[in-house]
Amino acid sequence: MTILRQVRAFFSRPGIAFTGGILCLVLSAWLIRGHAVALRAMREGTLPLLSQTTSLEKRLALLSRQVEATRLSKAAQNGSLEEKLRAYILPAGGTDRAVAVINAAFDALQKAGNAKDIAPLTVGDPSRLPGSGTTLEARPLSVALTVRENGMRDLLAMLDVSGLLTVHDVLVPREKQEFFSVTEVENPSSIVTVGQFLSADLLQYLGDPRGVEERLLAAFPSDTFAGLLHHLSKGETVKNAQTFLAGDIGKVLISQKLWPMPFFTIDRAEAKALTDGWVRLDLTVSAYGRSK
């Protein structure tokens, strides 16, 4: 007990008590400063990282929803588009549809006074296309017609737009990339809407461009996207397709449900001028399809 009294007496001295108080204050100040430094480090380091992480998590969630929505939309669209491709553009075996298109075109030209006779159409043996992902074949079709110059122009225009099915088909690679680049910058969450526009039926788009574009413009109200659509509508392929489908042959093909046409390429085209403004056109084309 004597030692305890001595210790109490020592710390009860005025000088010692004052000094101890100062030391306690210094220690408290040091602890508070350390705490402030820690808070500042958290604010300047951890909190921005947390903010970035939250932003990245939101972005990841958005992208995940986009991918899933795109996958579901693409699955639904591709089923319909693939069926049309197989039935109309690249049918399996035979050339019945391709022959029907050529005969319907001649009938339309003859009715308009732009054709007067046609030689029997001959169908050659098919040849396989090496290196194609699927088994494709090309079958040559040869025909000779007597037509006016306008009739020859319309026939060649028909072959030029053969195989077109969707809006995507009339875009060149640069234009397709522009659509996706602008989408990423302006509204990435609407990538599905862009995909639906590009896979829209070309005949429907050419008949009512504004109606097909309406949903797309609602998702992208900027002048940039409006400019892309304006450029698309003025493109050479779109204008050629519009002109052809509004002409004599186009109207007949639509009425006889021969649009979309099979995919043709021109192998040979020779024209010989006759009397009274008539032209003899010897034409050989390849009609493409899937082998059985």
274 or 50, greater pLDDT: 274
The whole-number pLDDT of residue 181 equals: 87
Is the pLDDT at 30 greater than 50? The verdict is no
Tokens found for residue 223 = 């002048």
52 or 254, greater pLDDT: 254
* Every domain of the chain and the residues it spans: 2-57, 90-163+261-290, 164-242
Is the pLDDT at 147 greater than 90? The verdict is yes
The whole-number pLDDT of residue 286 equals: 95
pLDDT band at residue 94 using 50, 70 and 90 as cut-offs: confident
Q: What is the CATH number of domain 90-163+261-290?
A: 3.30.70
Tokens found for residue 17 = 């008590």
286 or 128, greater pLDDT: 286
Closest to 152 measured CA to CA, from 99, 121, 109: 109
The whole-number pLDDT of residue 278 equals: 96
* Average pLDDT of the segment spanning 141-170: 95
Is the pLDDT at 216 greater than 60? The verdict is yes
Percent pLDDT > 70 in the chain is 72
Q: Please, are residues 228 and 198 in contact by the beta-carbon 8 Å criterion?
A: no
Helices (H), the chain: 2-11, 14-41, 47-84, 96-111, 149-160, 173-186, 191-198, 202-207, 209-219, 223-233, 236-245, 248-255
What's the mean pLDDT when you consider all of the chain?
79
Global pTM exceeds 0.85: no
pLDDT digits 0-9 by tens, 232-255: 888 888 999 999 999 999 999 999
